[in-house]
Chain A
Amino acid sequence: MLGYIARRLLLTIPTLLGVTFLVFAVVRLQPGDPAQEIAGQGATKEILESIRQELGLDRPFLIQYVDFMEKLFRGNLGRSLKTKEPVAPKVWNRFLNTLELTAVAMIIAILIGSVAGIISAIRPYSIWDNLSMLGALFGVSMPVFWQGIMLMLVFALWLEQWIGWGLPATGRGTLLHLILPALTLGTSSAAIIARMTRSTMLEILRQEYILTAHAKGASSGAVIFKHALRNALIPVVTVVGLTFGGLLSGAVLTETVFAWPGIGRLIVEEGILTRDYPIVQGAILMVALGFVLVNLLVDLLYAYIDPRIRYD
């Protein structure tokens, strides 16, 4: 196991270096003069010069990268071009908000997805199976931002009109604020988890050790939950890891719909659309690092649950 962990950790290092390099290059790869690009057409020479100095654009490329990495290790992501505030604390706070949203969405996805998948697998081709797989198909195909808007319409706006009380539709605060965005964000992951649980459970229920369990007189509940589900969880863990990326992608859109103060909105609204590149760099770096770490954890967890992996 230790050897596996070491190998997996070593493989992460080049990825992380590459990620930092790509993020670093985002500003430098701009066609034309990045300073001009950031400041806009009417900028004076002094402004352009100050931007170049701020970003270190007046020095050689590799020196800039080394400098960037050195600052990064000290937790310094530079300052916002617009507000002049340090980027790191802002990025960190917004990232925590996004994590809160994705964690709740993930819990919802695992609960709905595994229950639907198990029910489908126990009674394949029944009405429940067909219904939940149809639901899963719609769940995968529905644009997350549209679903968010529709949920907002029904459970916030219309509910308020009908009974005088609706779920909060925007912002972050109480637990109630989490319900609509987390449900929106979790749906497509729930759909993927449901399909995966179903197919794995179906495969496992055909195994001989399940037949043995039945033959020795175990109740069907015990067979499903003790013998089948525990083995079915192995691939589901991987899918949970994979859908985490989908959740982070979806978070950008969900946050925009529900005005959730997360990192996705930071990247788009305060970063790209206002050309505040230190913010874009810092926030994207944070998301990528988080994603790489989660994948690492999932891989290690996977190897822990399924010994066949680490001896491969």
Chain B
Amino acid sequence: MIDKTAVSLTEKASEGGLAQRKETLWRRLRKSPSAMLGLSIVLVFVTAGFLAPWIAPHDPLRPDFGRAREGPTWDSPLGRDELGRDILSRIIYGARISLWIGFIAVAIGVALGVPLGAVSGYYGRLDIFVQRVVDIMLAFPGLLLAIVLISILGVGLSNVMIAIGIASIPTYARLVRGSVLSLREMDYVTAARALGMSDRRIIFRHILPNCLAPIIVQSTLQVATAILFAAGLGFLGLGAKPPMPEWGVMLSTGRDYLRDWPHIATFPGLAIMLSVLGFNLLGDGLRDILDPRLRGKL
């Protein structure tokens, strides 16, 4: 019979630890200027994305041929594109698309990669099989795996999210497997098992909460990668399609006007770089706080 009090005490203790950790996390994050800069950049883009219809000065899709390729003015601080659309408004709406892709892709990666890694690390018998599958996925370098998946799923924005999400599964699976391998040997896991808890409960209540730190760090960095990949796929013509204000697509069309109107390609690129920089800074900062052993490493 399971000792209910002991079980709930163990679980309460780990939840209390989690809440406490959250508080110190915020306090330590505030002390890191680069992480705070990253967080601020991320918040600017998130706010811009959420409030796009209210803060964008113009309609991102309405052409104004009389003002085509116009440079920066008071009315359009980043200028107009090849069809006379306001570039700032398009970048603000583009934040919506890029962040959406980033979050959905990460959600897919976490939802599938984390359980896969946990099961692989916890049950030795499945490990060999899962690791071979991961090896096969990792044989396609980064963007190429997403491209392979797009060639199966077809070109388009929603397929880009799915492809980038699936392409990140091996990263999560490896990461979580590594943590689970060491955590399952811990005394409190043995204690939980001795109390008669089911494997599922042990994995979800005791092991995974302790893998949270590396998962959070990886997810923050993964949003940056997803934004870069999505823009890259849009640039290649495999993702979003014109006239959608997606940053990669904007950059790709701006390239044709590079010699005489470089502002059309410059600003969408800056938006991609800044947003990616924000998530990278935040991710690096979180890693320094949550996992000091990895400080300065990849």
Pair from one complex? yes
**A284 vs B143: C-alpha distance in the bound complex, in angstroms?**
12
Interface size bucket, A side? 35 or more
- Which residues of B are at the interface with A, using a C-beta cutoff of 8 A? 132-133, 135-136, 139-144, 147-148, 150-152, 154-155, 224, 228, 231-232, 235-238, 248, 251, 255, 258-259, 262, 265-266, 268-269, 272-273, 276-277, 280-281, 295-298
Interface residues of A in 56-89 (CB under 8 A from B): none
- Which residues of A are at the interface with B, using a C-beta cutoff of 8 A? 11, 14-16, 18-19, 22-23, 25-26, 29-31, 137-138, 140-146, 149-150, 152-153, 157, 192, 195-196, 198-199, 202, 239, 244-246, 248-250, 252-253, 256-257, 267-268, 271-273, 277, 280, 284, 287-288, 291-292
**In the complex, chain A residues whose CB is within 8 Å of the CB of B151:** 26, 271-272, 277, 280, 284
Between-chain CB contacts (< 8 Å), 30 pairs:
A15-B132, A15-B139, A18-B132, A18-B139, A141-B224, A143-B232, A145-B232, A145-B235, A146-B251, A146-B268, A149-B255, A152-B258, A157-B258, A195-B298, A199-B296, A245-B142, A249-B142, A253-B236, A257-B255, A268-B236, A268-B238, A272-B147, A272-B151, A272-B155, A287-B140, A288-B140, A288-B144, A291-B139, A291-B141, A292-B139
**A103 vs B152: C-alpha distance in the bound complex, in angstroms?**
30
Closest 8 A-B residue pairs measured CB to CB? Answer: A146-B269, A245-B141, A18-B136, A199-B296, A249-B143, A141-B277, A249-B142, A141-B276
- Please name 16 further chain A to chain B contacts, defined as beta carbons within 8 Å, in addition to the given A18-B136, A253-B236, sorted by A numbering: A16-B139, A25-B152, A141-B224, A141-B273, A143-B276, A145-B232, A146-B273, A153-B258, A157-B258, A196-B297, A244-B141, A248-B144, A249-B141, A271-B151, A273-B155, A287-B141
B276 shortest CB reach to chain A, Å: 4
**A202 vs B296: C-alpha distance in the bound complex, in angstroms?**
10
Q: What is the chain B residue whose CB lies nearest that of A242?
A: B298
**In the complex, chain B residues whose CB is within 8 Å of the CB of A137:** 277, 280-281
**In the complex, chain A residues whose CB is within 8 Å of the CB of B143:** 249-250, 252-253
B200 shortest CB reach to chain A, Å: 29
**A94 vs B32: C-alpha distance in the bound complex, in angstroms?**
47
**A11 vs B269: C-alpha distance in the bound complex, in angstroms?**
41
Q: What is the chain B residue whose CB lies nearest that of A144?
A: B232
Q: What is the chain A residue whose CB lies nearest that of B229?
A: A249
